[in-house]
Amino acid sequence: MDQRPAISASQAGDGVTLAASGNWTVTEAERLNGEIRQAARLPSGTRRVTIDLSGIDRFDTAGAWLIHRTARNMVNDGLEVVYTGIGPSREILIGEVEKSDRPPAEPRREAPFVTALVNDTGEAVIQSGRDLVQLSSLLGSTVLIMAGFLFRPWRMRLTSITYHLEYMGLRAVPIIALISFLIGGIVEQQGAYQLRYFGAEILSIDLAGILVLRELGVLLTSIMIAGRSGSAITAELGSMKMREEIDALRTLALDPVEVLIVPRLIALVIALPLLTFVANMSALAGAGLTAWIYIDVTPQTFLPYLQNAVALNTFLVGLIKAPFMALVIGMIACLEGMQVKGSAESLGRQTTAAVVKAIFMVIVLDGLFAMFFAAIDY
Partner 1 sequence: MAATNGSAFSVSDNAPGSGSGAGAGVTGTGPVANGAGERDAVIRGRGITVGFGRTNILENLDLDVYRGEVLGVVGGSGTGKSVLLRTLVGLQPRRGGTIDMFGTDIDSASAAERNAVERRWGILFQGGALFSSLTVKQNVQVPMREHLRLESSLMDELAELKIAMVGLAADAGDKYPSELSGGMIKRAALARALALDPDLVFLDEPTSGLDPIGAADFDDLISKLRDTLGLTVFMVTHDLDSLFSICDRIAALGKKRILVAGDLETVMNYPDPWIEEYFHGKRARATAAGMSQQ
Q: Could you say which of 19, 59, 218, 358 contacts partner 1 (CB under 8 A)?
A: 59
CB 4 within 8 A of CB 55: no
Q: Which is nearer to partner 1, 11 or 54 (CB)?
A: 54
Is residue 29 a contact residue for partner 1 (CB under 8 A)?
yes
Q: In a 3-state reduction of DSSP, which class is residue 193?
A: helix
Task: Give the three-state DSSP class for 20.
Answer: strand
* Sole binder of partner 1 in the list 33, 50, 160, 314 (CB under 8 A): 33
Which residue from 129, 140, 299, 342 is in contact with partner 1, where contact means CB under 8 A?
342
| Angle (CA) 320 143 251, round 5° | 135
Q: Do the strands 15-24 and 80-84 form a parallel or antiparallel pair, or are they unpaired? A: unpaired
Site size toward partner 1, by CB under 8 A = 38
Out of 35, 57, 131, 236, point to the residue binding partner 1 (CB under 8 A).
Answer: 57
Q: Which is closer to partner 1, CB of 38 or CB of 194?
A: 38
Q: Is 240 in the site for partner 1 (CB under 8 A)?
A: no
Q: Which secondary structure element, helix H or strand E, spans residue 79, and what is its range?
A: none
- Does residue 110 bind partner 1 (CB under 8 A)? no
Q: Which of residues 78-107 bind partner 1 (CB under 8 A)?
A: 87-90, 92-93, 96-97, 99-107
- Which helix (H) or strand (E) segment holds residue 55: the answer is strand 48-59
Among residues 9, 17, 42, 69, the one that binds partner 1 under rule CB under 8 A:
69
Closest approach of partner 1 to the CB of residue 356, in Å: 20
Taking the alpha carbons of 134, 135, 140, 143 in that order, is the dihedral positive or negative? positive
Asked if 332 touches partner 1 (CB under 8 A), the answer is no
C-alpha gyration radius of the chain: 36
The verdict on 171 binding partner 1 (CB under 8 A) reads: no
Does 2 sit near partner 1 (CB under 8 A)? no
- The span from the CA of 71 to the CA of 9, in Å, is 14
Applying CB under 8 A, does 126 fall inside the site for partner 1?
no
Separation between Cα atoms, residue 260 and residue 266, nearest integer Å: 11
- 58 belongs to the binding site for partner 1 (CB under 8 A): yes
**By C-alpha distance, which of 252, 277, 282, 259 is closest to 164?**
259
Closer residue to partner 1 in complex, CB, 223/338 = 338
73 binds partner 1 per the rule CB under 8 A: no
Q: Are 367 and 264 in contact (CB under 8 A)?
A: no
- Give the strand order in the sheet containing 6-12: 6-12, 15-24, 48-59, 80-84
Asked if 205 and 190 count as a contact pair (C-beta separation under 8 A), the reply is: no
Least Cβ distance, residue 114 to partner 1 (angstroms): 24
Q: Is 111 in the site for partner 1 (CB under 8 A)?
A: no
- Among 51, 62, 260, 355, contact with partner 1 (rule: CB under 8 A): 62
Select the residue interacting with partner 1 from 178, 341, 352, 368 (CB under 8 A).
341
Tell me the residue length of the chain.
Answer: 378
| Contact present, 354 and 336 (Cβ < 8 Å) | yes
For residue 158, the number of C-alpha atoms closer than 13 Å in the C-beta half-sphere is: 3
Query: Does residue number 39 form part of the binding site for partner 1 (CB under 8 A)?
Result: no
Q: Which residues pair with 59 in a beta bridge?
A: 24
Smallest distance from partner 1 to CB 360, Å? 26
The answer to whether 56 contacts partner 1 (rule: CB under 8 A) is yes
Report the nearest approach of partner 1 to the CB of residue 294 (Å). Answer: 52
Residues that bind partner 1 (CB under 8 A): 25-27, 29-30, 33, 56-62, 65, 69, 87-90, 92-93, 96-97, 99-108, 341-345
